[in-house]
Amino acid sequence: MTDTTKDHDPGTAPADLADIASDIAAAAHEFIVAVESVASAQSPDESISILLLELSALLAAGAPLGAIVDVVPDERYEPDAGYEPDVDRLRQALRTLLGPADEYVEVFDPYAGPDVVAARLSDDLADICSDLLHGLAHHAAGRDLEALWWWQFSYLSTWGQGASGALRALQSLVTHVRADLRLSAPIQE
């Protein structure tokens, strides 16, 4: 791979990275709108299907962030992205909507050993939205490289793992509902 983050006007991204930034911004916006819509809904069954589709789409859109070279922003320090949205109301609305289906367990890092950890869909979804919103603030300010750096960093360190764990949980939940299987209690830490 070639390093496409150099030899460009400061503050702007090379064309190929600008395209990726636009794609990620569109996917992030669509995901956030869908999660907010689900959080205000009254039907958990329909919400699970929507979240399954939206998380799948977000992970597909985010995959290039793990495949491209490391994005290096022009500035050494991150410019202020402005107001940090509070996602706690979103988290609580999702927790209420999902009820007992909110909690699940997963193997945190399949290469580090079989440690099983408890997780919550509401936490994963709210944290993903927070990370995406941070990048969207940079994108809206015209700082595509900064947005891409943030999305790539957070994809590799937080929201990519959170989204894939939540996707596995949602897919399992759909299976349980369709097969009329009971949910087991999550493993206590």
For residue 1, tell me if it sits in a domain.
Answer: no
DSSP states of 74-118 = SSSSPPP-------HHHHHHHHHHHGGGGEEEEES-TTT---EEE
Tell me if 65 sits within 8 A of 151, measured CB to CB.
yes
Give me Rg for the CA atoms of the chain.
Answer: 18
Q: Is there a domain that residue 8 lies in?
A: no
Statement: residue 32 has pLDDT above 90 = yes
Categorize the per-residue pLDDT at 26 as very low, low, confident or very high, splitting at 50, 70 and 90.
very high
Residue 6 maps to a domain: no
Closest CA to 106 of 158, 156, 161: 161
Q: What percent of the chain has pLDDT over 70?
A: 82
In a domain, 2, yes or no: no
pLDDT surpassing 70 at residue 37: yes
pLDDT value, residue 46 = 85
pLDDT single digits (tens) 141-150: 888 899 999 9
Strand pairing partners for 120?
Answer: 103
For residues 52-77, average pLDDT = 87
- Considering the domain boundaries, does residue 122 fall inside one? yes
Domain carrying residue 170: 15-178
Q: What is the pLDDT of residue 4?
A: 44
Q: In whole angstroms, what is the distance from residue 60 CA to residue 188 CA?
A: 32
- At 80-97, the pLDDT tens digits run 656 677 899 999 999 999
Name the maximum alpha-carbon separation found in the chain.
Answer: 57
The gap between the terminal CA atoms of the chain, to the nearest Å, is 42
Q: What is the CATH number of the domain that holds 174?
A: 1.20.120.1550
Our count of domains for the chain comes to 1
Question: Does residue 109 sit within a domain?
Answer: yes
pLDDT above 70 (res 185): no
Judge whether 161 lies within some domain. Answer: yes
